[in-house]
Amino acid sequence: MHTVIDEGAHVGAGREGRVGGFDAGFDAVVADAWHRFESNLAVHVATMPEGTYITITSAQASHGQRGQRPYVDVVAVDAERMVCVAALPSYLYPEDPDRDACDRRLHGLGWSEPGRPMADGTIMDYTLDGPRDEADLLATVAIATFREVWNVPHPSFLSAWTVGPGEEGSGPVALTHVTDDVRPRAATTRSVTPSVDSLPTPLRSLHTFCELVGSIVDSATVRSVCGTADLRELRILARAHARECAEHADRCRTDGSEMSSRVWRRQARSWSHTADSLRVGGSATSSGPDSAAKSAGS
Look at residue 6 and tell me if it is in a domain. no
Look at residue 2 and tell me if it is in a domain. no
Mean pLDDT (the chain) is: 78
pLDDT at 255 over 50: yes
Distances in Å between the alpha carbon of 215 and those of 12, 139, 182, 233?
12, 23, 30, 20
pLDDT at 177 over 60: yes
Helix, strand or coil for residue 65?
helix
Q: Quick one: 162 and 44 in the same domain?
A: yes
Look at residue 184 and tell me if it is in a domain. no
Look at residue 178 and tell me if it is in a domain. no
What pLDDT sits at residue 105? 86
Question: How does residue 212 score in pLDDT terms, banded at 50, 70 and 90?
Answer: low
pLDDT at 213 over 80: no
Look at residue 226 and tell me if it is in a domain. yes
> Averaged over 256-267, what is the pLDDT?
75
Look at residue 20 and tell me if it is in a domain. no
Q: Quick one: 59 and 141 in the same domain?
A: yes
Helix, strand or coil for residue 215?
coil
What pLDDT sits at residue 231? 94
What pLDDT sits at residue 267? 82
**CA–CA distance, 60 with 15 (Å, rounded to integer):** 29
Q: Quick one: 44 and 163 in the same domain?
A: yes
Look at residue 224 and tell me if it is in a domain. yes
> Averaged over 234-262, what is the pLDDT?
84
**pLDDT exceeding 70 applies to what percent of the chain?**
77
Q: Quick one: 202 and 142 in the same domain?
A: no
* Structural domain total, the chain: 2
**pLDDT exceeding 90 applies to what percent of the chain?**
29
Q: Quick one: 137 and 232 in the same domain?
A: no
What pLDDT sits at residue 192? 55
pLDDT at 181 over 60: no
Q: CA torsion sign, 213 to 60 to 28 to 287?
A: positive
Look at residue 7 and tell me if it is in a domain. no
Q: Identify the CA nearest to 257 among candidates 198, 207, 188.
A: 188
**CA–CA distance, 197 with 117 (Å, rounded to integer):** 39
What pLDDT sits at residue 186? 39
Residue type present at position 124: M
Distances in Å between the alpha carbon of 220 and those of 49, 206, 217, 223?
47, 12, 8, 5
User: pLDDT digits over 89-124, tens only?
Assistant: 999 999 988 888 898 888 888 887 888 888 888 899
Burial classification of residue 126, based on how many CB atoms lie within 10 Å of its CB (0-12 exposed, 13-18 middle, 19 or more buried): buried
- Domain of residue 221, residue span: 198-285
pLDDT at 164 over 90: no
User: pLDDT digits over 144-156, tens only?
Assistant: 899 889 989 899 9
> Averaged over 133-142, what is the pLDDT?
88
Q: Quick one: 218 and 120 in the same domain?
A: no
Bridge partner list, 125:
87
> Averaged over 171-194, what is the pLDDT?
58
**CA–CA distance, 192 with 172 (Å, rounded to integer):** 30
| pTM exceeding 0.75 | no
Q: Quick one: 63 and 144 in the same domain?
A: yes
